[in-house]
Structure formats: C-alpha cells, structure tokens
Amino acid sequence: MLDVADPSTAALAEPFTRTLVRLLRAQDTHGAWDAKSDAEILKPFVVTREERRAMPIIGDPDPDVLWRIEMFYTAVGLQVESETGVMAGPMTKMSHEGFGRLILIAGKLIVLSRHLRDVHRFGFDDLSALATEGAKWVAKARAEIEAHPDVARA
C-alpha cells in the first residue's frame, strides 16, 4: 500500500506522474517492465545534484537522455489533452552538443516553447520535483489554450 505521507509516494499519485508512467509502460512492448513498480520505472528521471556534477558535459547527449526528454514532454502533451480535450504534441530540435529547442503545439498554437541546454544532465532531484515540474508545464500550456481556444482548436 502507498504511504501518502512520503512525498515520493505521493508524487506517484499526481496526474502528470500517472500519465508519464502510462506512457512509459506503453513503450514496453515486450513486457520487460511488467514486474517493475512505478517508482522503478521513473528512477532514470531522478538525477541528484551530486550525480549531475559528476556527469561530463562534453560529448553527444546519451540517446537514453534524449528519449527521457521526449517522453517527459510527450506526457505534458498527453496531460494537456486530458485536461483540455485539445491534442498537443512536442517537437524537438537538438544539437549534438546538448542544446536545442522544444515546442509543444496544439492545433496552430505553440502552447510551450523552451530552450534546452545542458541536456546531458536532464533529470529531477526526486519524484516530487518531477511531478511539480510536469504539472507546471501542463498548467502553462493549458493557460495558453484557454487564452487562445480558437487557434488551439484550429
């Protein structure tokens, strides 16, 4: 049973985190993660400050990190769609040095625009930070859709 007093466990119950877990489990076409808990599946998204400091920033970003960035923002789009009924999807352009841009598009509206840098170190201090950051981007995108509903539904 989940201990809701534990912030990490409580983070697993947040709507964004549940969406991200569903998305990640959908990527597991062979069932390799069936026995893993949600926390274990989200573990690669948790990168402590010490781990970040130890990571080299020279060289190409790891494909696994790029995949996690894609999954994070795809989950933002899915949660936005769940809350607004407007489909939103990410587009990313990344250089080999770990710098780039990400946009989340809903209809003809850019609901989120982010410059990404230092993607080698993409991650969150803990599951609570992951849930908070995801919810923040969902709220910003939802606000854009609510401000410009005709463009988002075009």
88 beta partners: 106
The mean predicted confidence, pLDDT, of the chain is 90
Q: Is pLDDT above 70 for 5?
A: no
Residue 39 has pLDDT above 90, yes or no: yes
Higher-confidence position of 58 and 27: 27
Mean pLDDT of 113-136: 93
- Sheet hosting strand 100-106, strand order edge to edge: 88-94, 100-106, 109-116
**Which range (42-51, 53-62, 131-140) has the least confidence?**
53-62
Question: H/E/C letters for each residue in 105-116?
Answer: EECCEEEEEEEE
The CA distance from 109 to 151, in Å, is 6
Q: For the chain, which domains are there?
A: 7-153 (1.10.3100.20)
CA distances from 6 to 2, 9, 13, 94, 132 (A): 9, 5, 11, 36, 15
Q: Which two tokens stand for residue 74?
A: 């795809």
* Cβ atoms 17, 68 nearer than 8 A: no
Half-sphere exposure of 96 (CA within 13 A, CB side): 2
Q: Which residue has the higher pLDDT, 17 or 55?
A: 17
The pLDDT > 70 percentage for the chain reads 95
Closest C-alpha to 17, from 102, 143, 142, 132: 132
Residues 64-113: tens digit of each pLDDT: 999 999 999 999 999 999 999 999 999 999 888 888 999 999 999 999 99
Q: What's the whole-number mean pLDDT along residues 116-131?
A: 91
pTM (predicted TM-score): 0.90
